[in-house]
Amino acid sequence: MSYFILILLGSIWGASYLFIKVGGESVTPITLVALRTTLAGIALFITLMLRRENLPPRRAPIWKWYLVLGFLNSVIPYTLITWGETRVSSGLAAILVGAMPIFTVILAHYMTHDEKFTPRKVVGIGAGFVGVVILFLPDVLEAATANIFGGLAVVAAAVSYALATIYARRHLKGSSPVMNSFGQMLTASAIMIPASLLIEHPWTLTPTFPSLASIVTLAVMGTAFAYLLYFWLIAHVGATRTSLVTYISPVIAVILGAVVLNEHLQWTTLVGLVLIIAGVGLVTNLRLGQGSKGEAFASATAKSTQ
């Protein structure tokens, strides 16, 4: 049962890039993210009510961190990925986001006291960066500037996820996982709704049914429901095995992009995917005998891949 849930979660998070691509065909990026965070927040709020969890007091310090993490873990990466996918394939976007654990290790070396570079991690970082460079190679050779900027936006989203991972480990340890997800979605939607109204004037859009259906599916399945699956896995099989989803989601995204959207698979895509996955495996040092620190890192790694 646990392996089925693991594959299901990886498939949902991998399919999220397909939904973003389709949703972005007729809905502008900021509006799409506003809809995604709002709908996901509503779904998570219903979950909290069913679980009979109370919201933190209005003046509780944790709301400050929900705001920070809502910005780093939702507003910035969701917007950059959505915008980036208007210029690059959904499969490429998923692979680039999959490099997030590598950026986490680099940032953690300078921002924490217990996650320093080791020879194994350095090799993993090198493999990951070579993979990223190879992914950009076709666009560089063809001087496809728009594609390059789209890819760089997705890389920046991965860096934002990495920062969120470090802050979450530092400030949300011991808090309710569902509450943490709701708090971040609430603060993110509070930022994105006004931004959408002021910048993109969503009432002027003419969204298609496939786009709207994709956004609703992305919010409810790819965000809210996926988090619930993630928490179930953490509770039943541990963070280390759950972090295997890091390897599943980009592969699923590449397959769906090729089959559903007819995205062209180049040799650079496959080589870059293999190198990044290998790099992630080296920097996270995944093995079933990991201790608590490894569990914490693996948990954070899996959590920000969607």
130-152 mean pLDDT: 91
How many separate domains does the chain show?
A: 1
Token pair listed for 107? 């940032």
Say which residues have a Cβ less than 8 Å from residue 233's Cβ, sequence separation at least 6: 2, 5, 6, 9, 241, 242, 245
Token pair listed for 223? 């965000």
Sequential DSSP letters for the chain? -HHHHHHHHHHHHHHHHHHHHHHTTTS-HHHHHHHHHHHHHHHHHHHHHHHTPPPPPTT-THHHHHHHHHIIIIIHHHHHHHHHTTTS-HHHHHHHHTTHHHHHHHHHHHH-SS----HHHHHHHHHHHHHHHHHHHHHHHTT-HHHHHHHHHHHHHHHHHHHHHHHHHHHSTTS-HHHHHHHHHHHHHHHHHHHIIIII-GGG----HHHHHHHHHHHIIIIIIHHHHHHHHHHHH-HHHHTTHHHHHHHHHHHHHHHHS-PPPPHHHHHHHHHHHHHHHHHHT--TT--HHHHHHHHHHHHT--
Q: What is the pLDDT of residues 78-100, one digit of tens each?
A: 999 999 999 999 999 999 999 99
259-284 mean pLDDT: 92
The pLDDT of residue 305 is above 50: no
Q: Please state, rounded to an integer, the average pLDDT across all residues of the chain.
A: 89
Residue 119 to residue 5: CA distance in whole angstroms: 34
Which structural domain range is residue 29 located in? 2-303
CA nearest neighbour of 36 among 70, 86, 2 = 70
Q: What is the pLDDT of residues 153-164, one digit of tens each?
A: 999 999 999 999
pLDDT of 278 reads 93
106-115 mean pLDDT: 87
Q: What is the pLDDT of residues 27-40, one digit of tens each?
A: 999 999 999 999 99
pLDDT of 290 reads 46
Q: What is the pLDDT of residues 165-181, one digit of tens each?
A: 888 888 887 788 899 99
Q: Are 245 and 10 in contact (CB under 8 A)?
A: yes
Residue 138 to residue 144: CA distance in whole angstroms: 8
pLDDT of 291 reads 45
The reported pTM is 0.91
